[in-house]
Structure 1
């Protein structure tokens, strides 16, 4: 680059006048015949501007009328001493201040982020509270359902199975006849019988598919868990034909 070669030529000849012909030969060599004085002065001007941007006064590179140019050592040394002083360099450009809109955008972003974090925290808290409430309600329903069923119903005898509670009677079916169809038949039968559920709330049913009879034992207390119990036995015929059932 011609400007850099010019600077090298002035550095190697610092304090000495350098003619235009020397500069043509040093910078452009064999092509110097095609270089105009205007091109030389343009590159000298660019070099002065570069020196000034780097903190060296442009007056360090002086034009000597009729002789050429000279790059003075004194100006460079003085400038170096001034730049190393404790006083701030006036040529140093002021730090660029960021516009107000930048700070507003940054502040808005922080506000949005904080809002999102608070929203997530509140959502998690509400979800946990709702989950606890639902759990308590479900537990309460299950506990109430369990506690409302007599203890003897939940611990029915081993040879009978609790199937339903009808009109205050706890109905037990024999384990031999345990099936969905038979349980439905038992429930249908119980609804047609004049049971005394208030006095005999425990009803045990056994029957055989081979014989059209149904045996019903009604007790005041659970049949297995009391030593003294008041029970009565009834036998019904044609348990498979509900319309014809009779004592």
Structure 2
């Protein structure tokens, strides 16, 4: 009997400890904006990671197809990823079919954790250079940096990187739409992919373009960045 009570107490304390290591959900009413039929963007804060924005600093996007949802860059933490899932569920009850990560920077893909938790078999696509960099420590570095800059506001976030490598010219048919991968070797980084969805006339640029700020280059180049944007414009897309 004493052993059973001791075990119950131990499990209770473990549950409390787990709750204490998980930061609060993302604050604010982040409303998806429909930028093309069935294409939504959640425009996040533009500031650097901080306690006030809880590390949320990218623009997660999702496309609703007849078969399900494709998510682009689900954010910087498990909390952001859960918020993205909640916003998707406000739009549709269809399942997530796939996730794309546009480059190595964790503020775009650490939200993978939430997607994978709800959809364990979902494929997560990223440039072929991303997964090796994540495994070599880039993912853990991003978690530690965001924990520090946000004063633990992303606590509970774990590294879940892309597991399906892609490269320039690859085309993936998902949910009745074709996703053409564009990679320019070195742009914002050396891991960037842009996604052209011809049926929607949309190109997802990742961080190859920034609004009212110049984004830092890590393993990239300004000339490569310009060339990548030229490649995007050459598609004839009308939404970027």
TM-score category, normalised to shorter length = under 0.3
The structure whose Rg is larger is 1
Higher share in helix: 1
* TM-score calculated relative to the size of structure 2: 0.26
Q: Give the number of the structure with larger relative contact order, counting CA–CA contacts within 8 Å between residues 6 or more apart.
A: 2
Q: TM-score, normalised by structure 1?
A: 0.25
